[in-house]
Amino acid sequence: MHRNSSEEGRQGRKIELLVLHSMDGFYKSTVEWFKNPKTAVVAHYLISKKGEISQMLKDGWAGYHAGDYETNLRSIGIELEDEKKGEAWVYPKEEIKALRWLVKRLCKKYKIPKDKEHILLHKDITPERDDPVGNFDLDWIASFKTSYLRSVGRNDLSIS
Ligand SMILES: [Zn+2]
């Protein structure tokens, strides 16, 4: 858990956003980098291309990842290991699976709606950055609701 560049308690703000990032480096070195107390940027979770998840910061603490103080206070940051294949940046299936698992879990725990207003890419906040790199698409978010509706019928929208 990272203590130095983070803020305990989020000044009373609720967790209501998830912000996704590109790691801009490899999983293992990013885990080590975030452990370094001198590191000023820290997100809560790191996900590797193989789908491993490391938690670097308690959810209850504000990280420094969104480039915007108010957003940091209200969000959980998730960094994805990325890979360039030819001209395209890719996020392997195992990684997206782990990301979906984590997003689902966090949304349930903090009652965050699973939509594009609440699950953000860093470039939604800071458009001049290509982060996550490439055409990272969030269309899979929509599938949460449909598959849930298929499994339980339409009356109860709460996520089990
Ligand atoms: Zn970022």
Domain containing 35 — which CATH number?
A: 3.40.80.10
pLDDT tens per residue, range 121-151? 999 998 888 899 887 777 777 666 554 444 4
CA of 81 to the centre of ligand 1 (A): 12
The answer to whether residue 2 sits within a structural domain is no
Structural domain contains residue 29:
yes
**Ligand 1 centroid, distance to 121 Cα (angstroms):** 8
Number of domains in the chain: 1
* One-letter-per-residue 3-state SS of the chain: CCCCCCEEHHHHCCCCEEEEEECCCCHHHHHHHHHCCCCCCECCEEECCCCCEEECCCCCEECECCCCHHHHHHEEEEEECCEEECCEEECCHHHHHHHHHHHHHHHHHHCCCCCCCCEEEHHHHCCCCCCCCCCCCCCHHHHHHHHHHHHHCCCCCCCC
Q: Has residue 160 been placed in a domain?
A: no
Could you tell me the residue range of the domain that residue 114 belongs to?
Answer: 7-152
Whether 1 is covered by a domain: the verdict is no
Q: Residue 139: what pLDDT? A: 75
Task: Report CA(27)–ligand 1 centroid distance (Å).
Answer: 14
**Is 158 domain-assigned?**
no
At 62-84, the pLDDT tens digits run 999 998 899 999 999 999 998 88
